[in-house]
Chains A and B, each alone.
Chain A
Amino acid sequence: MRYLPLTSDDRAAMLNRIGARDMDALFRDVPKAAVVSRSMFDLPDTQGEIEVERHMSRLAAKTTAAGSLPFFCGAGAYRHHVPASVDHLIQRSEFLTSYTPYQPEIAQGTLQYLFEFQTQVALLTGMEVANASLYDGSTATAEAVLMAQRVTRRPKAILSGGLHPHYAETVETVAALSGEVVRAPVTPGAAEDIAAMIDDKTACVVVQSPDVFGLIRNLKPIAEAAHAKGALLIAVVTEIVSLGLIEPPGAQGADIVAAEGQSIGNAINFGGPYVGLFATREKFLRQMPGRLTGETVDAEGKRGYVLTLSTREQHIRREKATSNICTNSGLCCLAFTIHLSLLGEEGFGRLARTNHAKASALADKLAAVKGVSLATQSFFNEFTIKLPKPAVEVVDALVDKGVIAGVPVSRLLPHDPNVRDLLIVAATETNSDEDCAAFAKALAEVL
C-alpha cells in the first residue's frame, strides 16, 4: 500500500523491541467479542491511483457540472470565477497540510492570513471585529442567535420571512433548545413588517439582505426598532459579493453580521465546505464564538500573531464555552483571503457591478417572455420570477433543453401554496450573454 512506509521486516523488528509476539498482542485490551476479521467487511481491497481515479471520474461524470451549460442556481451558493492562482496557493503543502496554529512560532503563515481575513471581513461588513470564520453562513447565523440570547439574556429570536429557509431551520434546531424562535410571514419580493413583532422578550431580529428572493432590504429602520426595544439586529448575507455594491450592514446599524463567504475563492462543492463569516461590535467581543487571531510581539520584539482570547473556547472553558466549535474553515478562508486580495478595491467593485449588470439584463430578458413577471424589483445578482405554471415543472423541462434555470422556491418551502410558481434565478460574471439569451429562448419554448 503506497501510503504505508513500514515493511514486514520493519514490523517484525518493531514488535521485537516492544516485546510483543504479534500485532494481536498490542490489541489485547479489545474484548474478544469485538474483534473482527477482514472477511467481515464487504469492501474492496487496496487499489492503485489509476483504478481510484477511474472510479471517481465515472461517478463525477454522472453529474452535470454547472460550468458545462447555461446555469443560474443561487439561493445560498453562487458560482463565481476563482482565479487559478487561488487554488494553486491553497494547495501549497505549508497551508494544506499544516495543523491548527497552536504553536505560533512555526505557524505565522496561517496566523497572519487569518489576521488579514479578519480585517477583510470587518471591512466588508462595516463591523468592528470579525472572527477567523465558522463552518458556513447557516451555522454562523445560528451562532449569532445564540450569542444574541447571551448578550441580551432574552429568549426570543424573530426570523425574517426572507431568511433562507435552510438557515431558518438550522437556527430553529439549536436556538429553540434554550429559547424561542418565531418566523415572520413569507412575503416574496416585499419586506414584511418585522419591526412590529419586536417585544421586550426579543433578543434579536434576523434579517437577510439581499433576501432569499434576491430583494435588497433596508436594515436601518429595523435596527432602530430593535435597539429601541433593547434587541439586537443580526444581518445575514448569503452573497458576500453584494457588499461590493450595497451599503454594508454595519453602516445600517447591524449588531452582528453572519454571512456565507463561499462566493469569494470557493467552489460550490455541492454544499460544502464553505466559510462562515462572523462580525460584530467590539463591545460584544467576549461573547463572540470561534477562533480569533491577534497581533503581538515575540521575545525579540518582532511583530507576530497568535490565537487569542481562547478562554472563550471549548478547550479551556469546557461546558462554559461560548460555543463547542473547535475548527474554523481554514483553507476556505485562505481561498477567500487570497481571492479578495487579488480583486482589491478596484476588482471587487467591478466584480459586484458586473454581477448586477448581468442579473439586470437577464431579468429584463426573462420578464419579456410571455407569462413571466419579475417578482423582485430591487436586487443584486439574484431575483425571483413568477411563472404561469409550477416552477419545478419548468425547471425540469428546461433541463431537457440544456439549461439549469434556477431554484424553485417550492424546493425550499414545500408547504407554501403561494410560492409554487416562483423561481429564484442568479446570474454572475460566469454567465455569458449567450447563456442568458439561451435561457430566455428556452423558457419561451417550454411555457
Chain B
Amino acid sequence: MTMNNQGRPTAPGTIEANELPTISGDRGLMHEEPLIFELGRPGMTGVDLPEVQMSEARLGGMRRKGPVGLPGLSEPEVVRHYVRLSQTNYSIDAGLYPLGSCTMKHNPRLNEKMARLPGFADAHPLAPQKTVQGAMEAIAQLMNWLTTLTGMPAVAMSPKAGAHGELCGLLAIRAAIEARGENRKRILVPESAHGTNPATAAFAGFTVDEVPAKGDGHVDADALEAKLGLDVAAIMLTNPNTCGLFEKRIIEIAEHVHRAGAYFYCDGANFNAIAGRVRPGDLGIDAMHINLHKTFSTPHGGGGPGAGPVVLSEALAPFAPLPLLVHDSKGFRLIEDRADLPEGANPFGRMCAFHGQMGMFTRALAYMLSHGADGIRQASEDAVLSANYILASLKDVMSAPFGDGPCMHEALFDDSFLEGTGVTTLDFAKAMIDEGYHPMTMYFPLVVHGAMLIEPTESESRESVDRFIHVLRTMAEEAKAGKTERFGGAPRLAPRRRLDETAAARKPILRWKPKDLPQAAE
C-alpha cells in the first residue's frame, strides 16, 4: 500500500486551549473592532469622485476654514468594519426574540425589495404630482387596508413612529375639543400604560391622571368612570393591554367616556393580537396609532425608523393633519395647504415635512398583500396561540400573576418564583443570553413586581417554541433548586459581559475625541 501522510490531521485538540487568551485579542469569529476614527489614514477615501474646478465666488465668504476631522478609509476597510460590528448583534433572523410589547416578528425580504423599487425609493416628495401617481396610489392602498382592518373611517399617514402617532391623535383630540369651545385638560392614563402615553399627553399640553389597575390585570373600569368629568379630554388605553390581556369591559368604558364628552385614544401597540378578528372601530375607539414595525413587520432596524399612521373616528377625522391624500377624477392629489381643503376638513397642523414614512408604507403594503386578510387573521391567532402555549407550559414552574385566563399575544410572568433563590429577574434574563436567546421584556409593565413579558409572535415554529420552553423550564427549576451558578455573572458567552451603566451615566463620554484633546471636557 501507499501511505499518504500529507493529509490533514483530525485530532480534536484539548479543551483547556479554550481558556487561553489569544494573541490578537480576537476570538475566532468574534473580532474586537476599534472605532472607525481609530482606523484609516489621511487622504484615503472609499468613494471615487473626480476633483473639480470650483470658484469660491458664490459662497458668500462662508467657506469652511478647517477640516471636519473624518478618517479616511478604502471601501474594503469600511465594509469589514461594519460587517464585524454587525456580528456582535443579536437579530430576529438569527434567533427567537421573546420581547413582550415589542413584537419582534419575521421581516420578509420581499418587503425590502419592494421598498427599493425606483418608483417608490427614487420618488421625490415635492416632484410634480402628476409624475408620482404610483407612489400616491400605494399610500392610498395602504390607507384602505388600515381603515378596513380597523373599521375606522379615516387615517392620518404622516406620523413617523408610534409615539408620533400618539401625539397626532392627541392633537386631533385637542383640536376637536377646542372646536367645541370647551376647555378640557385632563387625560386619564392607566398606571400599566407604556411610558410614551403619559409623556405624549404632557407633550400635547395635557395633565396626566393615573387610573389604577385591578388585581386581575385589567384596568379598573369603575375607578376610571369615577374619574370622568367635564375637564377630561380623553382616556389613553392600550388594548390588548400591557399585561397581555383583552380589556373585557372596553365597550362599556368607551360608552362612559363618550357620555362624559371625552374621547377614547387607544394605543395600538398590540393590534397584532387582534388584527383580522376585532375591529377597533367596533369598540368605540376614536383614535389609534398603528406601529407598522410591530403589526405589519417593517424591520425594527436596531431602533428605527418606525411609522405610526393613526386611524380616526368620524368625530376626529376632520382634524387630521396636513397633508391629505385625495383621489378624484384627475387622479391622486396631495392637499398640502389650508386654501385647498375639502368641505369640513379642519386640520390641526402638520406633523412633519412631507407625507410620512413612505419606505415603511411600501414594506407594510407588501406584507399585507402577502398575508391577505385571511393570513393576517391567522397570524393574530397563531401569535395568541403561541403565547398561551408558553403560559400553559411554564406557569407551573414560573409564576404567572394572571395565569388562569387566556392571554392574548404575550404571556406575563412575575419574579415570585425566584423569591429566596438569590436570582433576580435581571440575572434570569441575562442568563438567557448564554442560552442563545434575547432576554424577554423585564420590569414592564410596572404594575407587576419583577415582570417578565414574553411574546413569541406567530413567526416561531412549534419546535422552536418547545425548545425555548425547555430552556426556560430548566432555568427556573435550577434556580429553585439552588443551582444558581449560571445566573450571577451572566452573560458569560456574549461579546461583552455586563456593562457599567453607572460609570457611563456619571461621566458621560458621548463621542470619540482625538487623543491630544482632553477627555475631561466630557
Contacts and interface: CB of A to CB of B under 8 A. Distances in A.
User: Do chains A and B make direct contact within the complex (CB under 8 angstroms)?
Assistant: yes
Interface string B110-146: 1011101111111111111011111101100100010
B47 interface: yes
B55 interface: yes
Given A3-B108, A63-B120, A347-B47, A273 B59 contact: no
Most buried by B among A55, A97, A315: A97
Interface string A7-29: 10011011101111001011111
A53 B379 contact: no
Interface string A327-363: 1111110100110111111111111011011001001
Contacts of A135: 160-161, 164, 305, 352
Interface residues of A, number: 206
29 contacts: A14-B386, A26-B384, A27-B278, A31-B251, A36-B282, A43-B149, A60-B135, A63-B131, A65-B122, A68-B118, A93-B86, A94-B90, A97-B107, A101-B302, A106-B494, A115-B35, A119-B37, A122-B511, A269-B120, A296-B503, A296-B509, A315-B195, A324-B196, A337-B36, A341-B46, A344-B70, A411-B126, A414-B336, A415-B339
A116 B446 CA distance: 33
Given A45-B374, A49-B110, A273-B160, A178 B303 contact: no
A107 B302 contact: yes
Given A97-B107, A377-B58, A404-B131, A73 B171 contact: no
Nearest to B43: A346
Given A62-B134, A344-B46, A271 B125 contact: yes
Given A14-B385, A36-B279, A109-B86, A351 B49 contact: yes
A96 to B, nearest CB: 5
Contact of B495 (A26, A30, A106, A351): A106
Nearest to B501: A306
Nearest to A383: B58
Given A41-B148, A294-B510, A326-B163, A269 B359 contact: yes
A337 B433 CA distance: 28
B1 interface: no
A346 B284 CA distance: 59
Nearest to A31: B251
B89 A98 contact: yes
Contacts of B303: 99-101, 110, 132, 291, 327-328, 330
Contacts of A347: 45-47, 49, 72
Given A294-B510, A343-B47, A53 B114 contact: yes
Contact of B405 (A29, A304, A341): A29
Interface stretch (B200-208, B220-228, B257-265, B309-317): B200-208
A68 B58 CA distance: 30
B237 interface: no
Nearest to B498: A299
A375 to B, nearest CB: 13
Contact of B196 (A41, A123, A314): A314
A187 interface: no
B494 A138 contact: no
A76 B382 CA distance: 43
A20 B278 contact: no
A196 interface: no
Interface in B75-116: 75, 78-79, 81-83, 85-94, 97, 99, 102, 104, 106-108, 110, 112-114, 116
Interface in A364-417: 377-380, 395-396, 399, 404, 407, 411-412, 414-415
Nearest to A23: B381
Interface residues of B, number: 206
A177 to B, nearest CB: 4
B58 A356 contact: yes
B127 to A, nearest CB: 6
A246 interface: yes
Interface string B144-175: 01001101000000001111101100010010
B483 interface: no
Most buried by B among A167, A173, A244: A173
B205 A177 contact: yes
A23 B44 contact: no
Contacts of A325: 161, 163-164
A110 B90 CA distance: 10
A308 interface: yes
Interface in A134-149: 135-139
B365 A56 contact: yes
A414 B337 contact: yes
Contacts of B340: 414
Interface in A102-137: 103-110, 112-113, 115-116, 118-120, 122-124, 128-130, 132-133, 135-137
Interface string B408-445: 00000000000000000000001001000011000010
A45 B373 contact: yes
B51 interface: yes
Contact of B137 (A59, A282, A311, A332): A59
A344 B75 CA distance: 10
B250 interface: yes
A51 B201 CA distance: 43
Interface stretch (A83-91, A153-161, A226-234, A438-446): A83-91
A271 B50 CA distance: 30
Contact of A345 (B59, B70, B131, B360): B70
A139 B247 CA distance: 34
A11 B144 CA distance: 31
Contacts of A79: 122, 124
Nearest to A218: B62
A273 B511 contact: no
Nearest to A69: B131
Given A109-B89, A116-B37, A324-B199, A66 B512 contact: no
Contacts of B87: 94, 109
Contact of B371 (A3, A83, A399): A3
Nearest to A166: B353
Interface in B483-512: 489, 491, 494-501, 503-505, 508-512
Contacts of A139: 160, 164, 351-352
A351 B47 contact: yes
Contact of A103 (B60, B90, B160, B444): B90
B274 interface: yes
B466 to A, nearest CB: 10
